[in-house]
Amino acid sequence: MQARVGKFEETAIIIRQEEIADDIYSMWLRTDEIASHAKAGQFVSVYCNEGSRLLPRPISICEIDKKDGAIRLVYRVAGKGTEEFSHMRTGMQLRVVGPLGNGFPLKHKKAFLIGGGIGIPPMLELAKALDCEKHIVLGFRDELFLLEDFQGKGQIYIATEDGSAGTEGNVLDAIRENGLSADIIYACGPTPMLRALKEYAAKNQIECWISMEERMACGIGACLACVCKSKEKDAHTNVKNKRICKEGPVFRAEEVEF
Amino acid sequence: MNMKVDLCGVTLNNPVMTASGTFGAGEEYSEFVDLNRLGAVVTKGVANVPWEGNPTPRVAEVYGGMLNAIGLQNPGIDIFIERDIPFLKKYDTKIVVNVCGHTTEEYVEVVERLADQPVDLLEINISCPNVREGGIAFGQKPEMVEQITKEIKKHAAQPVIMKLSPNVTDIGEMARAAEAGGADGLSLINTITGMKIDIDRRCFVLANRTGGMSGPAVHPVAVRMVYQAAQAVKIPIVGMGGIMNAEDAIEMILAGATAISVGTANFTNPKATMEIVDGIRDYMQRYQVKDMRELIGAVHDR
């Protein structure tokens, strides 16, 4: 029997939730279909229960537990919607649509997995999915999170803006300080970090995949809210715009302009 | 029980349509919605050539609503005819193509290209608040509305629905102007121009500064305007603006809408359109309404 593919709307039940750093929450959700179809680098749309908040919140998938039919979301409280989620407890329900977007391609060659801030969570499932030599480079402002979860999944390097742990500076500073190299880059994080990595990858001729972020509405490719500029004309939009929620969120660094 | 309605000579299986720009050309939502169950699919606006749209951020949430300033990004009429119309033809639903342009000539070019296409109705967007030329520029002066309607009617093979802006002083005057120009129907409301400011960064949230507001917060405004337009003209009206559920849809029909379009609700609930069809049926059963037509414009004083 062929497996069903596509997107699913489910009422997910919160298995557990905890605050793992200041304003950063980890939530495990029971979702049968989404968990069984999701892969690293994809995201879900989480809908608010409060009716005045109309738009779903796109949140990247941090971990997938196919055996138990569960996904883990690690998110930062950035507004009223994520604040609503942060107050929810075990057993409560959330409407979720997913899995959305394309996810990371799995190429088993010596890899940099680079996460910055709230771009770190999706690198965890990727670290589990990739069976190869991995340098995991994580950039934090100050407070560290998810470190224990990455243990044993590759060589871990840390950069902090305030120098309180690892290299003082950003992820590229950590790469340079430790004299690291790799044949492929997977990255998710703030735009300045992605921009620097795109430049670094081009200079060193390394294949580079980045996960992009933008304000979304529908989350499924219909409304054209979350586009990014592309180098070439996109086959679907017929202009130099790609839909982050549909063709992305993961792109080859050189195919997008930001 | 009859849920069918006649919209400008086209029979819809039920009055539920999609609002242009929220539903693409149906393909993405077909993973959640059985398009056969909708009265019609109204496509994202299409122009004579591809449009890139506005810079991002293009959307923002506001209390009970949202702002958008997509800027009518679209792939152009060639791709649309080649890809989107054949996709929609696979379904037992009516096809309404929303048409946009910067100039009368651009609108006319699209309308002419669609003349030999299996399209049921045209919806002409003269009310987009997010593009500088065209769009709303045609929709805020009655003489302009009448003139562009006349031009389009000269070239259109399908019935023409003019989509009106709520950003006007007298909606009745605009409705009458479109009717005088020969419009077969009207649709309203397009979004209400709004603005959101990020107080932490003290900047506009949208790259376009302003955006069109939609969602349940605008629904009472839309009901009022549909009522006023229905009082002003004899041609049928497609009512839209913040319809989230069947109750909102029925309100709009009672105000005078022959059909309704569901927009922002698709973002909140991808299955909203189908649930609204079911909800209208439930309402008709509950009140023993035998024919949809009994409800159109049936509002009265208490």
Q: Give ∠ CA A218-B74-B113 in degrees, rounded to 5.
A: 135
Chain A residue closest in CA terms to B64: A52
Locate all alpha helices (DSSP H) within chain A, ordered by sequence. Answer: 32-37, 80-86, 121-129, 147-150, 171-177, 191-204
pLDDT of B209 > 80? The answer is: yes
Tell me which of A224, A232, A236 to substitute to probe the interface with B (most B C-beta atoms closer than 10 Å).
Answer: A224
Q: What is the pLDDT of residues B144-185, one digit of tens each?
A: 999 999 999 999 999 999 999 999 999 999 999 999 999 999
| Chain A residues closer than 8 Å to B42 by CB | none
Helix (H, G, I), strand (E, B) or coil at A102: coil
**Gap between the Cα atoms of B63 and B217, Å rounded:** 8
Q: Which one, of A158, A111, A103, lies nearest residue A131 by Cα?
A: A111
> Contact at 8 Å (CB) between B121 and B7?
yes
**Gap between the Cα atoms of A145 and A25, Å rounded:** 10
Structure tokens of B48?
């004579």
What are the phi and psi torsion angles at B231 (to 5°)? -70, -30
- Tell me if ipTM is over 0.90: yes
**Taking the C-alpha atoms of A196, A202, A203 and A204 in order, what is their torsion angle to the nearest 10 degrees?**
110
Q: What is the pLDDT of residue B135?
A: 67
Chain A residue closest in CA terms to B23: A222
Mean pLDDT computed over B202-214: 98
| Active-site residue, B128 included | yes
B268 → closest Cβ in A47, A221, A222: A47
B56 → closest Cβ in A56, A97, A215: A215
Amino acid at B125: N
Chain B residue closest in CA terms to A234: B75
Report how many Cβ contacts below 8 Å link chain A to chain B: 107
The mean pLDDT value of chain A amounts to 96
**Which pLDDT band, with edges at 50, 70 and 90, does A144 fall under?**
very high
| Chain A residues closer than 8 Å to B79 by CB | 238
What is the model's pTM? Answer: 0.96
Q: What is the pLDDT of residues B77-94, one digit of tens each?
A: 999 999 999 999 999 999
**Mind telling me how many Å the CA of B302 is from chain A's nearest CA?**
29
Q: Which residue has the tokens 């497609």?
A: B238
DSSP per-residue string spanning B29-40: GGGTS-GGGSSE
**Subunit contact A220:B23, Cβ cutoff 8 A:** no
Q: Which residue has the tokens 């029997």?
A: A1
Report chain A's terminal Cα–Cα distance, integer Å.
42
The mean pLDDT value of chain B amounts to 96
